[in-house]
């Protein structure tokens, strides 16, 4: 695996992993490498420093940024959106399609809900005129 730093014409920088240098070249030629911010498939590699482990004495500097901290403004915006949805909506889990249809048909009280649906369930909701939209995150699941 190889990691490349990439940049689009809009000056959005991002990184991505590829199986090999040839795999990157093939995907780029096919237009399959795109900027995650603007969607442009006109990207190019940028100069990046090699990952060299510093000596123990040199490593004693400021502590690294915790992984739980947002890496970019876009990541912070997604977190804010998630908080907004979770604070102002009811989580209905895998019953999302059923509950959304009941609300749309007037068989359940109108309220904001979010949950999970299989792609074919979501497609049927949209075809039937039920106002739904995909969210850019998965609901948090409880773990032991």
Q: Helices marked H in the chain — which ranges?
A: 21-29, 73-88, 96-105, 119-127
Confidence class for position 66, pLDDT limits 50, 70, 90? confident
> Following DSSP, what letter does each residue of 69-100 receive, concatenated?
S-SSHHHHHHHHHHHHHHHHSEEEETTHHHHH
Confidence class for position 61, pLDDT limits 50, 70, 90? low
Strand partners, 18: 2
CA distance 84 to 141: 17
* pLDDT of 52 strictly over 90: no
pLDDT in tens, 96-142: 999 999 999 999 999 999 999 999 999 999 999 999 999 887 767 65
pLDDT in tens, 19-45: 999 999 999 999 999 999 899 999 999
Query: At CA 11, angle to CA 6 and CA 17, rounded to 5?
Result: 15
pLDDT at 48: 78
Mode of pairing for the β-strands spanning 44-45 and 13-18: unpaired
Model's pTM, two decimal places? 0.53
Mode of pairing for the β-strands spanning 113-115 and 90-93: parallel
What is the SS3 assignment for 44? Answer: strand
């Amino acid at each position: 695996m190889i990691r490349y730093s990439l940049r689009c014409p809009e000056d959005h920088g991002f990184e991505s992993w590829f199986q090999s240098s040839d795999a990157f070249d093939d995907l780029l030629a096919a237009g399959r490498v795109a900027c995650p911010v603007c969607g442009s498939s006109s990207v190019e590699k940028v100069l990046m420093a090699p990952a060299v482990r510093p000596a123990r004495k040199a490593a004693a500097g400021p502590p690294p940024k915790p992984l739980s901290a947002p890496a970019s403004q876009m990541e912070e915006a997604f977190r804010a959106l998630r908080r907004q949805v979770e604070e102002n909506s009811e989580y209905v889990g895998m019953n999302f399609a059923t509950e959304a249809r009941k609300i749309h048909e007037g068989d359940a009280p109108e309220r904001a809900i979010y949950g999970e649906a299989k792609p074919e369930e979501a497609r049927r909701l949209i075809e039937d005129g039920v106002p739904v939209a995909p969210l850019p995150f998965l609901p948090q699941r409880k773990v032991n």
